[in-house]
Amino acid sequence: MNLPESLSSLGRHFLNRRNFLHTAGLSGAAIGLTSLLSSDGLLSEDLKTAGGKKPIRPRIDSRNPYAARPSHFEAPAKQVLVIYCPGAVSHIDTFDYKPALARLHGQKPNGLPAVTFEGPSGNIAKPFWKFKPRGESGKMTSDLLPHLGRQVDDFCFFHALSTQTSAHPQGENFFNTGFTMEGFPSFGAWTTYALGTENQELPAFVAINDPRGLARSGKNNFGNGFLPAAFQGTAFNSKSPPNNLGRPRSIPARTDAQTVELLKLLNSRHLKKYPGDADLAGRIASYELAGKMQSSVPQVMDLAKESEATLKAYGVEGGSQLRGHYARNCILARRLLEKGVRVVQLFNGSDPSGGNGITNWDSHTNIAKTHAMQAEIMDQPTAALIADLKQRGLLKQTLVVWATEFGRMPFLQGNGTGRDHNPGAFTCFLAGAGVKKGFSYGESDEFGFKAMVDKTSVYDFNATILHLMGLDHSRLTFYHNGLERRLTNVHGHVVTEVTA
């Protein structure tokens, strides 16, 4: 046994391929550039994804994992901004207009569940805010988000989304990584893995966390999972730079520069013993890049040159302190996109134990008050950010994703003041590059309880975002532990109806 003849045809194919590489006279140094990552790829190149498609695995040069890489096909969106609202925004109180709720207010029609996530359910409650038609499209949205309401003609709503879980951490995991379980790469990591980035002096993927802290799934939402750590989101916001960015205060700039000089000398002498070793060269390059980042990140974080008008439009002053912080984060998001950062993920909400009584959109009690508090923080700055991107022409190549992990129930909880989690129907919207404007896709049922028409899974939604970025979700894969893993597992269909 174990002779090539006794191996499977698959195995023989591998061996032949390897033979080919060995004998084709490819430059050793060129191959040496590939990291362990692509040496895995080498082995599994002949595997296919579910559905029989050939994976498109980016070749990562370990000297520069962030080098810009071509998309799978031409697409208008080159960058993506994800505005993520943890805690579950109530679709029926914001964007999904359900007149039946007013009619059935206080009643409990048949067919609605007796027990939901937090326990016994109460009666139907009409929206806590008035809906009215907005924009030229006449889209019905509520007074809870008036600023965003003014821009509905730019948005493309998904009203028939549903998810797999009614718990936040699993919901966040599912939305942002495609799996309810722990440890899978985030959307931003997949995108960076596929496309690299245009600006090498800034991180390719930035996670701007809420001033109150991380969302419930924490780092999962922007983590690299089993992808190389290079592709995790770098966390910073308008207040706090990335960890360890700056030289310690105890070290003068000149000393710092001299230290790096010595380091260069040490490395260049060491490299002489390993001529052409790409891993060593790559690590040397990473130090040069780090040096550049030390000046480019503080520059991008510096809002001093932003005009009065901009600060005002974003609502930096004049609202709650949290709105001010979030508004600054929104300006930072725009500045990062201007500089070519590939993925910006902006959070509006944290886990449940921050300050201020509420920390995210999870309005189990007193939704009238708690959703209003969240909306005050989110509405104006977010609307200003999207308008600003549009005005600066950035929306032409930037895809904006506004998202939350699930919806809220059309009926109240037993406590009579809050709405429980609703995995059966919720609303998110897209805007910008490649997306229809003033458009709504899919419908939930008359209560907003379950998705009904043109049902859209989270897989479909993610497949569509990747598609708009020029990536085929069924072919963007990474071999891990026996499987060609994808953001969309083995599911997902691109919703072509929403593409412009």
Pick between residue 251 and residue 500 the one whose CB is nearest to other proteins.
251
Under the criterion CB under 8 A, does residue 183 sit at the interface with other proteins? yes
SS3 call for 425: coil
SS3 call for 401: strand
Pick between residue 283 and residue 450 the one whose CB is nearest to other proteins.
283
CB 208 within 8 A of CB 237: yes
Kindly write out the interface string for residues 389-428 of this chain, putting x where it contacts other proteins by CB under 8 A and - elsewhere. Answer: --------------------------------x-------
**From candidates 223, 424, 434, 470, binder to other proteins by CB under 8 A:** 223
Pick between residue 11 and residue 106 the one whose CB is nearest to other proteins.
11
Report how far residue 416's alpha carbon sits from residue 124's, in angstroms, rounded to the nearest whole number.
Answer: 10
Under the criterion CB under 8 A, does residue 25 sit at the interface with other proteins? yes
Pick between residue 15 and residue 102 the one whose CB is nearest to other proteins.
15
Q: Which stretch binds other proteins (CB under 8 A): 140-148, 331-339, 351-359, 376-384?
A: 351-359
**From candidates 13, 105, 312, 392, binder to other proteins by CB under 8 A:** 13
Pick between residue 254 and residue 305 the one whose CB is nearest to other proteins.
254
Under the criterion CB under 8 A, does residue 169 sit at the interface with other proteins? yes
Pick between residue 224 and residue 456 the one whose CB is nearest to other proteins.
224
Footprint of other proteins on residues 450-489 (CB under 8 A)?
Answer: 477, 479-486, 489
Closest CA to 41 of 477, 499, 496, 490: 477
Under the criterion CB under 8 A, does residue 357 sit at the interface with other proteins? no
Q: Which tokens is 467 given?
A: 């598609």
Footprint of other proteins on residues 238-277 (CB under 8 A)?
Answer: 242-248, 250-252, 254-255, 258-263, 265-267, 269-271, 273-277
Report how far residue 189's alpha carbon sits from residue 206's, in angstroms, rounded to the nearest whole number.
Answer: 10
Report how far residue 487's alpha carbon sits from residue 490's, in angstroms, rounded to the nearest whole number.
Answer: 9
Pick between residue 47 and residue 372 the one whose CB is nearest to other proteins.
47
Under the criterion CB under 8 A, does residue 496 sit at the interface with other proteins? no
# residues contacting other proteins (CB under 8 A): 128
**From candidates 146, 228, 319, 340, binder to other proteins by CB under 8 A:** 228
Under the criterion CB under 8 A, does residue 47 sit at the interface with other proteins? yes
CB 216 within 8 A of CB 188: no
Footprint of other proteins on residues 63-92 (CB under 8 A)?
Answer: 63, 65
Report how far residue 342's alpha carbon sits from residue 471's, in angstroms, rounded to the nearest whole number.
Answer: 14
| Min CB(214)–other proteins separation in Å | 5
CB 219 within 8 A of CB 257: no
Pick between residue 134 and residue 216 the one whose CB is nearest to other proteins.
216
| Min CB(72)–other proteins separation in Å | 18
| Min CB(331)–other proteins separation in Å | 24
Q: Which long-range CB contacts under 8 A does 317-322 form with residues at least 24 apart?
A: 319/376, 319/377, 319/380, 320/373, 320/376, 320/377, 322/211, 322/212, 322/356, 322/377
Kindly write out the interface string for residues 26-45 of this chain, putting x where it contacts other proteins by CB under 8 A and - elsewhere. Answer: -xxx-xx-xxxx-xx--xx-
Report how far residue 398's alpha carbon sits from residue 185's, in angstroms, rounded to the nearest whole number.
Answer: 22
**Cα distances (angstroms) measured from residue 335 to each of 228, 272, 332, 424, 431:** 27, 41, 5, 36, 18
Q: Which stretch binds other proteins (CB under 8 A): 50-58, 129-137, 399-407, 457-465?
A: 50-58
Closest CA to 331 of 199, 437, 237: 237
CB 342 within 8 A of CB 231: no
| Min CB(493)–other proteins separation in Å | 10
Pick between residue 43 and residue 102 the one whose CB is nearest to other proteins.
43
| Min CB(299)–other proteins separation in Å | 16
| Min CB(444)–other proteins separation in Å | 20
Q: Which tokens is 498 given?
A: 């929403």
DSSP of 321-380: HHHHHHHHHHHHHHHHHHTT-SEEEEE----TTSSSS--SS--SS-HHHHHHHHHHHHHH
Pick between residue 44 and residue 464 the one whose CB is nearest to other proteins.
44
Phi, psi of 384 (to 5 degrees): -65, -40
| Min CB(321)–other proteins separation in Å | 20
Under the criterion CB under 8 A, does residue 289 sit at the interface with other proteins? yes
Q: Which stretch binds other proteins (CB under 8 A): 146-154, 283-291, 299-307, 391-399?
A: 283-291
Under the criterion CB under 8 A, does residue 235 sit at the interface with other proteins? yes
Q: Which stretch binds other proteins (CB under 8 A): 84-92, 180-188, 302-310, 339-347?
A: 180-188
**From candidates 70, 119, 133, 416, binder to other proteins by CB under 8 A:** 119
What residue type is assigned to position 443 of the chain? Answer: E
CB 350 within 8 A of CB 87: no
Under the criterion CB under 8 A, does residue 437 sit at the interface with other proteins? no
If DSSP states are collapsed to H, E and C, what string results for 93-151? HCCCCCHHHHHCCCCCCCCCCCEECCEEEEEECCCCCCEEEECCCCEEEECCCHHHHHC
**From candidates 79, 94, 165, 422, binder to other proteins by CB under 8 A:** 165
Task: Give the single-character DSSP code of 53.
Answer: P
**Cα distances (angstroms) measured from residue 23 to each of 3, 17, 19, 39:** 20, 10, 6, 17
Under the criterion CB under 8 A, does residue 203 sit at the interface with other proteins? yes
Report how far residue 491's alpha carbon sits from residue 494's, in angstroms, rounded to the nearest whole number.
Answer: 10
